[in-house]
Structure 1
Amino acid sequence: MSLNQIKEIRIESWKDFKNLLDHRNFRQWIYRGQSDSRWNLESSLYRSITESKKIRGAAGKGTLDINKKRDEEIMLSRFKSSAHLYLSHLPKQNDTFSWLALMQHHGAPTRLLDFSFSAYIALYFALEAGGEDAAVYCVNHNALKQLDEEHFGESRKLVYQRALNQFNNEDQVCLFAFEPEFSNHRLMAQQGLFVASNSIEFTHEQALSEYELKGNEVFKIIIPKELRYEGVRMLHQMNITSGTIYPGLDGFCRSLYQLPIFDSKLQGRVGLEP
């Protein structure tokens, strides 16, 4: 692969962040936050296979016999056959991308990566945990789509079909963004969408670097760890919290996790002292 370097921009203040992003057209750009700037863009399926290789290699079982496509198909098949035991509303049987989105939602490994149409929601995921420099990836969705259409044709359904059903094809590795027909409250609250790959041989970062995107069409904002506290406070003032990002009781419980950031004496004030 001939990789193009993704431009990195290190901000020095939240004013820098605002100036970089506030005037970009909504839904033309998509964003992903990561709590450690050293992490690459990798799907959970890619990481699962990588970790499996390490475990098999350490046990002397070999790694060359791992059939990635077969394992992915088995995961999807097992999820489809068992999901009705836990969920009352399910996607159409042939809506593969909605099934993958549902798997992603519940923590199963897939070839998808979560993105958001909101830079500030992506920032929440970058800052919600961790103590290192964080990062927000910024991608011009329209530019990505245009290059995909030039390579695959104007039919988006054809792109989807080839991406899933021709794992061993000779197409150049590609990425494409989509919103599943079968959505959920969390995805809507996060203004979320997914970026899929037509190959799990490469990371999303490697695939993205294959595109001939300009420096102002894809870049990575590095957020110094010293700005984390102020950033979390800023997001709370914007009502971007665990309670709004994760609707329901789970979100409320996650919101309690960050209470000590703002007031370590809160427990005493609400009568919880022993």
Structure 2
Amino acid sequence: MQTIRLTRWSEFVDHADAMEGWAFRGHVSAQWPLVPSLTRRLQQFSPDPRLWPLREARAMRVFRRKAHIYLQDRSALGDDLRSLALMQHHGAATRLLDFTKSPFVAAFFALESATRDVAVFALNTPALWNRAPDFDPSLTRSQIDPRVPGNFDRYFAGNTLPLLWFGEPSEMDSRLVAQSGLFVVPGVLDLPLDDILDGYGGSEGLLTKFVLPLEMRHDAMRALYRMNVTYATLFPDLDGLARSVSYELESIWERLVEDYERAHPAPPGT
């Protein structure tokens, strides 16, 4: 994995423009490893990796048995990837890693609540499209596609194959559409994504990590606001609108300051 530390927002924009077709993911800490939420949860509460496939299978089974109560359309529960996407959408820990086709959406998620240096990971999906891991050249993206019935159990659920798949479910929800989102699905949970990619060989770089310093946040968030990249647009519901107000609290535009000063002039002699 190549790591590039940036100093200005314009540098990120220039790099992003050169990465046509790549996928991106933002982290609010540059120190976080590139692992899914399920890995972090299992490492904390189930330290024996031999039990992880059983734990994941049970979580999916429990969700599928009960989620139908809240769904008008239950068809997603018969599809492994759509079930995982539904779980992820509503806050469950899953093996899915959220990525986006937009570098600016990824930067927003990294920077919006940042209190330290952040990271945006860029995955070279064009180079990976027909690539397979070195240990088995037959395991291409199309071969292991978890949208195909039986493939999730065959290639992912056993937690033994260091490979990955990327793409969208057969049907996407409104948030995934709004965020230009896609998922990366790792075949093992106990390795970060960069270690899995080391097994894919080839001369092209497959993963780049951009470190964005906290000092960049002001310029970046202002640029993203002008691009209409906000919680209100990325989460097109009342929750997203309410979360978007947080940035309005910190953004004091120059004209607003001038209007306020005209309406509330300082007392003479101050």
Answer whether TM exceeds 0.5 for this pair: yes
Residue correspondence of structure 1 range 171-250 to structure 2 within 5 A: 171=161, 173-212=162-201, 214=203, 216-250=205-239
> 1:164 corresponds to which letter in structure 2?
D
Q: 1:218 to 1:65 in 2, by over 3 A?
A: closer
Report the alpha carbon displacement of residue 109 of structure 1 after superposing the two structures with TM. Answer: 1.0
The reply on whether 1:261 has 2:250 as its aligned counterpart is: yes
The reply on whether 1:40 has 2:33 as its aligned counterpart is: yes
Structure 2 counterpart of 1:29? 22
Q: 1:45 to 1:65 in 2, by over 3 A?
A: closer
Report if the CA contact (8 A) 2:141-2:165 is conserved.
no
Q: Deviations over 1:226-254 (max 9, x none)?
A: 00111111100000001001101011100
With 111-120 and 11-20 compared, the bigger mean Cα shift is at: 11-20
Report if the CA contact (8 A) 1:113-1:194 is conserved.
yes
Report the alpha carbon displacement of residue 102 of structure 1 after superposing the two structures with TM. Answer: 0.8
Q: Secondary structure at the match of 1:67?
A: helix
Structure 2 counterpart of 1:14? 9
State the superposition RMSD in angstroms. Answer: 2.6
Q: Secondary structure at the match of 1:177?
A: strand
Residue correspondence of structure 1 range 124-143 to structure 2 within 5 A: 124-143=108-127
Report if the CA contact (8 A) 2:4-2:210 is conserved.
yes
> 1:11 corresponds to which letter in structure 2?
L
With 133-142 and 200-209 compared, the bigger mean Cα shift is at: 200-209
Identity of aligned residues (%): 31
CA distance in 2, matches of 1:12, 1:107: 34
Report the alpha carbon displacement of residue 64 of structure 1 after superposing the two structures with TM. Answer: 3.8
With 91-100 and 112-121 compared, the bigger mean Cα shift is at: 91-100
Structure 2 counterpart of 1:105, from 86, 89, 100:
89
Structure 1 counterpart of 2:263? none
Structure 2 counterpart of 1:156? 142
Q: 1:87 to 1:263 in 2, by over 3 A?
A: farther
Report the alpha carbon displacement of residue 205 of structure 1 after superposing the two structures with TM. Answer: 3.4
Report if the CA contact (8 A) 1:134-1:222 is conserved.
yes
Report if the CA contact (8 A) 1:162-1:198 is conserved.
no
Report the alpha carbon displacement of residue 35 of structure 1 after superposing the two structures with TM. Answer: 0.9
CA distance in 2, matches of 1:204, 1:147: 15
Specify every segment of 5 or more residues in structure 1 that has no aligned partner in the other structure, as ranges: 1-5, 54-62, 270-274
Q: Secondary structure at the match of 2:121?
A: strand
Report if the CA contact (8 A) 2:99-2:181 is conserved.
yes
> 1:263 corresponds to which letter in structure 2?
I
Report the alpha carbon displacement of residue 170 of structure 1 after superposing the two structures with TM. Answer: 6.1
Report if the CA contact (8 A) 1:91-1:99 is conserved.
no
CA distance in 1, matches of 2:164, 2:49: 26
Q: Secondary structure at the match of 1:136?
A: strand
Structure 2 counterpart of 1:79? 63
Q: Secondary structure at the match of 1:176?
A: strand
Q: 1:15 to 1:29 in 2, by over 3 A?
A: same
Q: Deviations over 1:82-125 (max 9, x none)?
A: 11222222334431011111111111111100000001011111
CA distance in 1, matches of 2:33, 2:190: 15
Report the alpha carbon displacement of residue 182 of structure 1 after superposing the two structures with TM. Answer: 2.4
Q: 1:155 to 1:196 in 2, by over 3 A?
A: closer
CA distance in 1, matches of 2:84, 2:102: 22
